[in-house]
């Protein structure tokens, strides 16, 4: 029997969906198609306007509209956890309130980046958000991008806010994840596809996935096998997925490889916004070989 955690309704596969672009603009028709693909695949939740959704290059208006459109297209058939983080508490608050107004089911709030708050600053940031909105909040801890770790003791303090229900654990540290699991009843979701199985083993309940953009069913199979106690099948699924997961985050900065993969699979233009640039030909060939080996091409 797995441990009971606060955000159980978000256990399973959440997919950090890409934001499709065409001629420099958000392609809402392609976004709708992507969401239908996730619903057909059995995904629990989509996360629009996150890192994979190129939120740093979306205008604030686009950020709001991508979330609103995702809620509209989902039409209650799949949960929507909206990316609403910022390094300004006031801006994160505005984005989160707007996502709530637009019907999102939860907010994915990245740690304030670049300005590197103290641990007290992290606590006050999330407390201000939790007190102002009714949405479940997922704390997104990714020090490799933000420049600073939210320490486990701070996450335990943040967890005193009842509507903070989840952590997207992207520190790469199983010690950190274990400490959060020991100190809180938050639902821990892996923020690294390749660490999903190890995080499940210490009490994690799912993943917010990049690779799920292309193979949601394969990731769901891993999660289902683990939950059924079939560890051998879960391990086999992990080892099959690993080269794909490695390439999505290893060939170049996310979401460059996943957009390239979706282009190769005929599911996206592959367009990115500067300063993100496409894979060079040699790296794209490596990605193509991985997709072939997986059986996708």
| Token pair recorded at residue 41 | 């695949």
Of 79, 140, 148, 259, the active-site residue reads 140
Residues 6+ apart with CB under 8 A from 96: 82, 84, 107, 109, 129, 132, 133, 135, 137
**The dihedral sign for the CA sequence 147, 151, 152, 157:** negative
Active-site entry in 79, 148, 168, 259: 168
Residue 139 host element (H or E): strand 137-141
Instruction: Reply yes or no on whether 140 is catalytic.
Output: yes
Instruction: In whole angstroms, give the CA distance from residue 113 to residue 108.
Output: 14
Cβ atoms of 166 and 137 closer than 8 Å: yes
- 142 phi and psi angles, rounded to 5 deg: -140, 75
Cα–Cα distance, 271 to 273 (Å, whole number): 7
* CB contact at 8 A, 26 and 68: no
Give the closest residue to 17 by CA, choosing from 73, 60, 61, 59.
73
The residues carrying an active-site annotation are 140, 168
């Amino acid at each position: 029997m797995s441990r009971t955690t606060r955000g159980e309704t978000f256990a399973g596969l959440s997919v950090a969906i890409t934001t499709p672009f065409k001629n420099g603009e958000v392609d809402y028709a392609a976004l709708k198609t992507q969401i239908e693909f996730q619903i057909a695949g059995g995904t629990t939740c989509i996360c629009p306007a996150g890192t994979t959704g190129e939120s740093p290059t979306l205008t604030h208006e686009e950020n709001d509209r991508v979330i609103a459109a995702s809620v509209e297209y989902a039409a209650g058939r799949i949960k929507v956890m909206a990316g609403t983080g910022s390094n300004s508490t006031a801006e994160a608050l505005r984005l989160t309130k707007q996502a709530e107004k637009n019907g999102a089911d939860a907010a994915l709030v990245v740690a304030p980046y670049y300005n590197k708050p103290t641990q007290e600053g992290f606590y006050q940031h999330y407390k201000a958000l939790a007190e102002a909105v009714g949405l479940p909040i997922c704390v997104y801890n990714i020090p490799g991008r933000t420049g600073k770790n939210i320490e486990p003791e701070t996450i335990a303090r943040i967890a005193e806010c009842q509507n903070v229900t989840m952590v997207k654990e992207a520190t790469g540290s199983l010690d950190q994840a274990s400490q959060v699991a020991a100190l809180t009843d938050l639902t821990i979701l892996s923020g690294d596809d390749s660490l999903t199985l190890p995080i499940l083993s210490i009490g994690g309940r799912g993943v917010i996935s990049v690779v799920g953009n292309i193979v949601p069913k394969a990731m769901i199979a891993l999660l289902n096998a683990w939950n059924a106690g079939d560890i051998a099948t879960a391990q086999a699924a992990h080892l099959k997925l690993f080269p794909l997961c490695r390439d999505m985050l290893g060939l170049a900065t996310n979401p460059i490889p996943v957009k390239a993969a979706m282009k190769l699979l005929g599911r996206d233009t592959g367009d990115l916004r500067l300063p993100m640039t496409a894979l060079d030909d040699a790296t794209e060939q490596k990605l193509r070989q991985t997709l072939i080996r997986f059986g996708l091409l």
